[in-house]
Amino acid sequence: MSLSNPLPRAARDGERGRARTVLLVFSLVTLAVVARLVQLQVVEHGRWAALAKATQERTLDVPPRRGTIYDRSGVPLAYDVKARGIAIDSLNMTKPEALVALLNKELGIPVASLQRLIYRPSYFTWIDRKVDLATVARIEAEAKKARAYGLLFFETWKRCYPEGDLASNLLGFVGTDGAGLEGVERQFETLLAGTPDKVEILKGADGRTYETRVLEKGKPGQDVVLTIDSRFQHICEEEVSRGTLEKQGKAGYVVAMDPKTGEILAMAQSRRYDLNRFAQSSAEDRRNLPVSFLCEPGSSFKTFSALAALECGAVSTSDVFNGNDGYAVAGHPFHNAGKVSYGTVNLAKILKMSINAGIIQVAQQVGEERFHQALVNLGFGQKTGIALPGEEAGILRPVEEWSGLELATLSFGQGIAVTGVQLVRAFAAVANGGILLEPQIVVRPADGKKPAGPTVVRQVASPATCRTMTDLLCGVVMDSDGTAPAARVAGFKVAGKTGTAQKALPGQGYVPGRYTALFAGYLPAEAPALVLLCVIDEPAGGAGGGLAAAPIFGRAAARIAALDHLAPVASVSSR
């Protein structure tokens, strides 16, 4: 007899149903897991593999050695030295506060800035891209000692400017990312920069870099050779700084050009900044005045009024004019400086004594159309094409918009705005026999090969006219009653012209006592090899070109002539 008590049939059926339900649920869960595994390992394998790789690897561009900038004699003005870049892996770092303290001490970066960088949720954030090798060695040693991990180090380069502020406004500088931001550095960025190395960083699970390898080798930047002579640049910077300080001007600049080639030999100014500490400078400090500062040329412009008149045959050196003060045009009286009257004058005296009344009559003989065209031919009202950023075109109104007084005011340099590069180029055209050249700042091509030579824009006057003009301009400097005796250079015949331009301010018109003082000249007058333009903005006491700018020319030209071994003329004296 059986001792068991079998379950009723209904109970046995319920038990089997529950078992089937559990089996079904288990099967569905298993199926779902398998399906998800298939999706992750087969369907989405590429995506997740890439994510895992990104977690462990990073590819970045590391700039190569930037090209060196040389002066015309091979003196380096900007070059790269070996350095190291420092970055942080914030997701795998240890002891972040120790890293902040260390980097603050060694790099001088504010704590708040470092905390923003270090706590940024990223596998890679730059801290400093250009750290000197000795500093990096200390950081590496201290981090290792503190067992503070997460810093990444890379071989890189740091830009150096061995002459500090020499030609700073011309050279410009590179930013923290290694790109040129001002001057030559910016203008020739593509040439100087080269192409970067592509570097792969492999990291272990603890966040320490265990391999850095170059995937694709870049190409170093090409060197650039400037037309600047660093010796001339030193001289011009010293003399313009001295002259601006002595006359208490707001700023001053000097541009030196070779009239035969259009090459800029110096581009100096009183306001400069240390290129190695560019972050401490202001935008005004960094402004390159010879290409960006617009001013009226004042009486220096009488040179081109006379040139236009002689070239078109409207006047001759024997013609005479009324030099008395108060010469009227359309009922408006024009005054000479100091309201002095000179009586009957010829072209030589008009230029030598800078007589407004006389030059107005000379321009009237030329006429509006021809005079305007002559100024256009000389390059005014348009960019020169010099290879520097920030160049202004100046202001020369279309002749159709001229008022009845425009011809008169333009004849003595009022109602027009020019840059220093425009003005020095126009004087160079007079000096070289009438050829307008494109100003050159870089030896072309910039690869050390033979330069391509001068770039001729057009012939603006005949050699004969220019020889006449040179003789007339010599009177300004060499004659005993000229306006620029301070521009004389012992042993040389100097040609040039002074300018004292009233300054107009918005809403105020021309303001008494506010002037721009200019002098442009060249030597030796018989065979010009050097053209210099000297400008001082707002010298104290309204000092004019003869007192404020001409002395800068005289001192700078004498020193440059001695360095460049220009041959003096045996017997030169005032006339």
Residue 40 pLDDT: 43
Query: Which two three-digit tokens encode residue 380?
Result: 């005014």
**What is the number of alpha carbons within 13 Å of residue 243 lying toward its C-beta?**
37
CATH class of 230-271+289-563: alpha beta
CATH architecture, domain 58-198+214-225: Alpha-Beta Complex (3.90)
Q: CATH 3.90.1310.10 in the chain: give the residue spans.
A: 58-198+214-225
For CATH 3.40.710.10, list the domain ranges present in the chain.
230-271+289-563
Q: Which two tokens stand for residue 44?
A: 């989405």
Q: Which residues contact 354 (CB under 8 A, 6 or more apart)?
A: 299, 302, 337, 483, 498
Query: Which alpha helices (H) appear in 249-328, and where do they start and end?
Result: 283-286, 289-292, 302-311
- Regarding beta strands 344-346 and 320-322, do their DSSP bridges make them parallel or antiparallel, or are they unpaired? antiparallel
What's the pLDDT score for residue 565? 74
> 537: part of which helix (H) or strand (E)?
strand 530-537
Q: How far apart are CA 471 and CA 477, in angstroms?
A: 11
Tokens of 134: 């000795």
Closest of 430, 399, 432 to residue 308, by C-alpha: 430
**pLDDT score recorded for residue 11:** 52
pLDDT at site 370: 98
Sign of the CA dihedral running 30, 34, 35, 36 = positive
- Of the CA atoms within 13 Å of residue 506, those in its CB half-sphere come to 0
Beta-carbon contacts of 524 under 8 Å, excluding residues fewer than 6 positions away, are 492, 493, 566, 567, 568, 569
Rounded to two decimals, the pTM is 0.85
Each residue's pLDDT, cut to its tens digit, for the chain (575 residues) gives 444 455 555 555 556 666 566 565 566 556 655 555 545 455 555 554 554 444 455 787 888 999 999 999 999 999 999 999 999 988 888 899 999 999 999 999 999 999 999 998 887 889 998 899 999 999 999 999 999 988 988 888 999 999 999 999 999 999 988 899 999 999 999 999 999 888 887 766 555 555 677 888 889 999 999 999 999 999 999 999 999 999 999 999 999 999 999 999 999 999 999 999 998 999 999 999 999 999 999 999 999 999 999 999 999 999 999 999 999 999 999 999 999 999 999 999 999 999 999 999 999 999 999 999 999 999 999 999 999 999 999 999 999 999 999 999 999 999 999 999 999 999 999 999 999 999 999 986 555 565 667 999 999 999 999 999 999 999 999 999 999 999 999 999 999 999 999 988 888 888 888 999 999 999 999 999 999 999 999 999 878 999 999 999 999 999 999 998 777 764 555 55
> How far, rounded to the nearest angstrom, does the alpha carbon of residue 39 sit from its chain's CA centroid?
58
Instruction: Please give the biggest Cα pair distance in the chain.
Output: 160
Q: Minimal CA–CA distance to 410: which of 460, 439, 376, 437?
A: 376
Per-residue pLDDT at 23? 62
Residue 213 has a pLDDT of 79
Token representation of residue 59: 């590819």
Helix (H, G, I), strand (E, B) or coil at 219: strand
Nearest of 238, 242, 249, 167 to residue 518 by alpha carbon: 249
Beta-bridge partners for 263: 440
User: Using CA atoms, how far apart are residues 307 and 314, in angstroms rounded to an integer?
Assistant: 10
In this prediction, residue 523 carries a pLDDT of 97
**DSSP label at 508?**
T
Phi, psi of 539 (to 5 degrees): -65, 150
CA 347, 351, 354: angle at the middle one, nearest 5? 125
Q: At what angle do helices 111-118 and 96-107 cross, to 10 degrees?
A: 130
pLDDT at position 54 is 47
Give strand pairing partners of 496: 521
